[in-house]
Amino acid sequence: MAVQSTELILDELKKLLGEERATSNDTVRDLHGRDESYHAVRPADIVVFPETTDEVSAIVKTAAKHKVPIVPFGLGSSLEGHVIPYNGGITIDFSLMNKILEIREDDFLVRVQPGVTRTQLNKELKKRGLFFSVDPGADATLGGMAATNASGTTTVKYGVMRDQVRDLEVVLADGSVIHTGSLAAKSASGLHLNGLFVGSEGTLGCFTELTLRVYGIPEQIAAARASFPTIDDAVTAVVSIQQAGVPISRVELVDEPSMQQVNRHAGTDYPVKPTLFLEFSGNVAGLRQDIEFTKEIVSDLGCDNLEFEMDQEGMNRLWEARHHLAYSYIHSNPGRKMMVTDVCVPISELAGAVHHARETVDRMGLIGGITGHVGDGNFHIILMIDMNNPEEVKKSEQLNEAIVSYALDRNGTCTGEHGVGVGKLKYQAREHGAALAVMETIKRALDPDHLMNPGKLFSPSKEDA
Amino acid sequence: MAVQSTELILDELKKLLGEERATSNDTVRDLHGRDESYHAVRPADIVVFPETTDEVSAIVKTAAKHKVPIVPFGLGSSLEGHVIPYNGGITIDFSLMNKILEIREDDFLVRVQPGVTRTQLNKELKKRGLFFSVDPGADATLGGMAATNASGTTTVKYGVMRDQVRDLEVVLADGSVIHTGSLAAKSASGLHLNGLFVGSEGTLGCFTELTLRVYGIPEQIAAARASFPTIDDAVTAVVSIQQAGVPISRVELVDEPSMQQVNRHAGTDYPVKPTLFLEFSGNVAGLRQDIEFTKEIVSDLGCDNLEFEMDQEGMNRLWEARHHLAYSYIHSNPGRKMMVTDVCVPISELAGAVHHARETVDRMGLIGGITGHVGDGNFHIILMIDMNNPEEVKKSEQLNEAIVSYALDRNGTCTGEHGVGVGKLKYQAREHGAALAVMETIKRALDPDHLMNPGKLFSPSKEDA
């Protein structure tokens, strides 16, 4: 934005929100110009801190009047540049909208403002024997998690963020306010706006309130770890367990070189083999039977070391290697920046995809660990890149392209859980084919001036360039 | 349509499909002019029976060229007039597109044509130890079930139809073909078209192929029946069981007068009390513990008669009253037509809603049974109406309005699982508020001539009138 128009708009916003909650202070602008990814930094022009839906609506109307972009901002933990305001405009920081508004225990529902984080919510829920299921690792805001359709290790049992959203209050591009759902557990009424807005990455509107599904804490949790001769055996084990109808609540794969890296870093002596980290939940009698059954299945596949624990300390110990994976790579590679790939393939293609990923990483001489949410077919390469080495940066981009290409050839997706942002834009046409035009039609219809988080999820329009 | 244009279009379609698969035969037209509901009959103008996606695309292009409506038709088991061609045009009968194209066991996925029915699919899946979870009662086609976001008794555990759809092949209003998803178990790429098209009731396009999620058959199923002093006690029991994290796979409520009706009809002596029909699934040890725990919970709420069975015969016997409910009303009321209400409320409002429903039915002097999917808050009044008695027809409409109004006042929905069709059109504005305009914007953007199943889900445009 031109300096003059920035000042004019800031003045208007200060009138609306007061001196304190609308700013172009350099430190604040910088803090809102980055996320947790390797994507280039671009400071915000103006940052505002609304406290109510009405204020968000007024901010969006101001942006619409001046035809400047709106970028919603949670905690900046996104991994594909979602919140970086490459086209400037007004960044809406939701950190002051961080209240848990209502816990409806009998309905298994909570109503929260978008700035509430998942651990903040879980702390309150625990007192009532309830929990919120989606765990993407980072302590992200629930608004951000809904905007990117976050998921994580528990998805195999409880589903992704979209599955938890019962209703959203959304401020649209024209400043009007809608509700996308209701409090009913299911509905066959109207188009499914809940699903459409979840994962829309701020491009269709800003979330100002979320009603989310929560669950009763299971009586008992059991953790297990099992290593296998090959990745294929490990994946086959997971499929067999699921085909037998045994409910798994988490199942993570760590590949052989990554186990070695953990041992080297932590001084541990885990078997250097493809390893599954599992979690089951239910009642004690049922869990014991599930685990006995699981033992039989994995032993047929060459695993002679299934260990399991039911107390918290023992469970933590069993899963330690998985928890330490990213950290062990970060700590062992000071000065390098983390880039994480994020494809998801049909489960039958997962073993092949992990082999391909490992071969490609090694052939290119890159440093990277591989971990996968096996139950979903989603896996990550945690790459450690020297950003000052243009050759290595280029190679890591080529690697990402090769991984995505492999996944798309098998009817998978370029992003299982991190979202498109700016990092996965170039794969949208190939992945969605003719459906991309339908998405663009919807975007144009709901945001004709292309002001809602422009350049994310959808390729920049000509005016943005 | 004018007779002349009907003949012209029929000629074109016969050239496309051959003499046999495009018709305006009176019997065929009549068969495609009704569904299983009480809504007025209106014979189709032209009925076509495509065998391929290309044929569907060519049919839709023909309709677009002549600006006549397209109405997709499965088996006609819809309950709100979805498939009745009130605006004439071309009815596409999908009964020849009834192949199971692929079963990907390791991916827990099947790819089917839209005319495949759920029992046809389950018969094939059973051989592989798998099953398809959605059970709406009727043996509907999977295309129809996706179009209306069908659900039923298993939703409390496995979710609704939308939760099972991984990908749809859709022919859009201009005849172009898109895929709305991929084979990946989860994705954060692009707008969620899967969710948007499921439940769109043929108003955004015709489904020509579906990729659906399936599940491993659980080791053991247990059925249970428990009657309670009051409806409130029964609902409280369900909430308590769920809060304790015990997974229920089905839970149905039948109210007191409905149990009496079953006894009268079938000569049984079930306790005439609000009754829960439950199903659990898992391994034997886990189930026994779940049932013991459930016994404790229900006994605290005044239930001293929880019975349970694990063999198929015993389970059928336990659930008999629930299975016979609709039939007992139909059989005892010859000459009357069934009308079924279908609201869904937050679970905390369910007991009150069932009380209100029973009081209103009795006060109006109508005949009706009440059954509810308690885990979801969705319940039905099975009304038996003398369609030749205008006074009674009017009363039943007033009843439906009162039931919907009660649900919407509590932030529920006017239809939990039957869909909008023409029957729930008048409640859309009240239920969705400003969001209805967003839905209409999307509809206009994707079907500017309003030719895809016009008058359903969306209020008729001026041209339709």
HSE (CB half, 13 Å, CA atoms) of B164?
A: 32
Across residues B230-254, what is the average pLDDT?
91
Does the beta-carbon distance from B183 to A246 stay under 8 Å? no
Does the beta-carbon distance from A192 to B177 stay under 8 Å? no
Element at A226 (helix H, strand E): strand A220-227
Nearest to A438 among B155, B162, B193 (CB): B193
Residues of B in contact with A375 (CB under 8 A): 185
Q: How far is the CA of A354 from the CAs of A230, A310, A392, A406, in angstroms?
A: 11, 30, 21, 10
pLDDT digits (tens, 9 = 90+) for A34-84: 999 889 999 999 999 999 999 999 999 999 999 999 999 999 999 999 999
Low-confidence ranges of chain A (pLDDT < 70): 1, 461-465
* CA nearest to A167 within chain B: B411
User: Quick check: A74 and A141 in contact, CB under 8 A?
Assistant: yes
Q: Is B72 helix (H, G, I), strand (E, B) or coil?
A: strand
- How many residues make up chain A in this entry? 465
Burial class of residue B252 (count of CB atoms within 10 Å of its CB; 0-12, 13-18, 19+): buried
Please tell me the distance from the alpha carbon of residue B50 to that of residue B68, in angstroms, as a whole number.
18
A residues 14..73 contacting B (CB < 8 A): none
Q: Where exactly does CATH 3.30.43.10 map onto chain B? A: 3-95
> DSSP class of residue A359?
H
* Residue B117 φ/ψ, nearest 5 degrees: -95, 165
Does the beta-carbon distance from B189 to A215 stay under 8 Å? no
Residues of A in contact with B187 (CB under 8 A): 149, 344, 413, 415-416
> A200 at the B interface (CB within 8 A)?
yes
* CA nearest to B423 within chain A: A189
* CA nearest to A427 within chain B: B189
User: Quick check: B453 and B203 in contact, CB under 8 A?
Assistant: yes
pLDDT at B465 over 50: no
In 3D space, the residue among B136, B143, B119, B116 whose CA is nearest the CA of residue B326 turns out to be: B136
Q: Is A221 helix (H, G, I), strand (E, B) or coil?
A: strand
Burial class of residue A317 (count of CB atoms within 10 Å of its CB; 0-12, 13-18, 19+): middle
Residues of B in contact with A207 (CB under 8 A): none
CATH level 3 topology of A3-95: 3.30.43
User: Quick check: A350 and B104 in contact, CB under 8 A?
Assistant: no
Q: How many CB pairs under 8 A join A and B?
A: 320
CA angle (A351, A352, A354) in 5-degree steps: 65
Report the Cα A423 to chain-centroid distance in Å: 14
Cα of B393 to nearest chain A Cα, Å = 24
Looking at residue A247, its pLDDT comes to: 85
Q: How confident is the model at residue B279 (pLDDT cuts 50, 70, 90)?
A: very high
Does the beta-carbon distance from A245 to B105 stay under 8 Å? no
In 3D space, the residue among A9, A7, A136 whose CA is nearest the CA of residue A75 turns out to be: A136
User: Quick check: A351 and A367 in contact, CB under 8 A?
Assistant: no
Nearest to A193 among B247, B413, B438 (CB): B438
**Any residues with CB less than 8 A from the CB of A348 and at least 6 apart, and which?**
A239, B104, B106, B107
pLDDT at B321 over 90: no
Element at A440 (helix H, strand E): helix A435-446
Task: Tell me the residue type at B138.
Answer: A
Element at B370 (helix H, strand E): strand B367-373
> Mean of the per-residue pLDDT values for chain B?
95
Task: Tell me the residue type at A54.
Answer: D
The strand pair at B220-227 and A250-254 is best described as unpaired
3-state helix, strand, coil in chain A (%, to 5): 40, 20, 40
Selected for mutation to probe chain A from B283, B422, B457 (highest A CB count within 10 Å) is: B283
Written in H, E and C, the secondary structure of A148-209 is CCCCCCCHHHHCCHHHHEEEEEEEECCCCEEECCCCCCCCCCCCCHHHHHCCCCCCCEEEEE
DSSP B403-437: HHHHHHHTT-BS-SSS--TTTTGGGHHHHHTTHHH
pLDDT at B464 over 80: no
Looking at residue B423, its pLDDT comes to: 96
Please tell me the distance from the alpha carbon of residue A238 to that of residue A240, in angstroms, as a whole number.
5
Cα of first residue to Cα of last residue in chain A, in angstroms, is 13
The number of beta carbons lying within 10 Å of the beta carbon of residue B291 is 17
User: Quick check: B184 and A377 in contact, CB under 8 A?
Assistant: yes
HSE (CB half, 13 Å, CA atoms) of B134?
A: 26
* Residue A376 φ/ψ, nearest 5 degrees: -105, -15
Across residues B175-188, what is the average pLDDT?
98
Q: Is A42 helix (H, G, I), strand (E, B) or coil?
A: coil
Does the beta-carbon distance from B432 to A159 stay under 8 Å? no
pLDDT at B216 over 70: yes
Residues of B in contact with A195 (CB under 8 A): 162, 192, 194-196
For the domain spanning B100-216, the CATH number is 3.30.465.10
* CA nearest to A169 within chain B: B435
Residues of B in contact with A192 (CB under 8 A): 149, 162, 192, 195-196, 198-199
The number of beta carbons lying within 10 Å of the beta carbon of residue A125 is 19
Does the beta-carbon distance from A420 to B190 stay under 8 Å? yes
Selected for mutation to probe chain A from B109, B170, B177, B189 (highest A CB count within 10 Å) is: B189
pLDDT digits (tens, 9 = 90+) for B73-101: 999 999 999 999 999 999 999 999 999 99
- Give me B50's structure tokens: 């495509």
**Any residues with CB less than 8 A from the CB of B401 and at least 6 apart, and which?**
none
Tell me the CATH class for A333-433.
alpha beta
Task: Tell me the residue type at A464.
Answer: D
Please tell me the distance from the alpha carbon of residue A108 to that of residue A227, in angstroms, as a whole number.
37
Residues of B in contact with A416 (CB under 8 A): 184, 186-188
Across residues B49-53, what is the average pLDDT?
98
Cα of B288 to nearest chain A Cα, Å = 8
Please tell me the distance from the alpha carbon of residue B199 to that of residue B202, in angstroms, as a whole number.
8
Does the beta-carbon distance from B189 to A346 stay under 8 Å? no
> DSSP class of residue A460?
P
Please tell me the distance from the alpha carbon of residue A288 to that of residue A306, in angstroms, as a whole number.
13
Cα Dmax for chain A? 71
> What burial letters (b/e) apply to A373-404, b meaning 16+ CB within 10 Å?
bbbbbbbbbbbbbeeeeeebbebbeebbebbb
Looking at residue A390, its pLDDT comes to: 95
For the domain spanning A218-331, the CATH number is 3.30.70.2190
> DSSP class of residue A455?
T
Q: Which strands sit side by side in the sheet containing B205-213, from one edge to the other?
A: B100-104, B109-112, B205-213, B165-172, B177-179
Nearest to B432 among A190, A288, A411 (CB): A190
Q: Where exactly does CATH 3.30.70.2190 map onto chain A? A: 218-331
Q: How far is the CA of A458 from the CAs of A58, A118, A202, A302, A464, in angstroms?
A: 25, 28, 11, 46, 11
User: Quick check: A228 and A275 in contact, CB under 8 A?
Assistant: yes
Q: How confident is the model at residue B461 (pLDDT cuts 50, 70, 90)?
A: low
Does the beta-carbon distance from A186 to B439 stay under 8 Å? no
Q: Where exactly does CATH 3.30.465.10 map onto chain A? A: 100-216
CATH level 3 topology of B334-423: Alpha-Beta Plaits (3.30.70)
Tell me the CATH class for B218-332.
alpha beta
CA angle (A149, A150, A155) in 5-degree steps: 110
Please tell me the distance from the alpha carbon of residue A450 to that of residue A234, in angstroms, as a whole number.
46
Please tell me the distance from the alpha carbon of residue B142 to that of residue B149, in angstroms, as a whole number.
10
Instruction: Give percent of chain B above pLDDT 70.
Output: 99
Q: How confident is the model at residue B69 (pLDDT cuts 50, 70, 90)?
A: very high
Cα of A388 to nearest chain B Cα, Å = 30
Looking at residue A461, its pLDDT comes to: 64
Report the Cα B307 to chain-centroid distance in Å: 30
pLDDT at B463 over 70: no
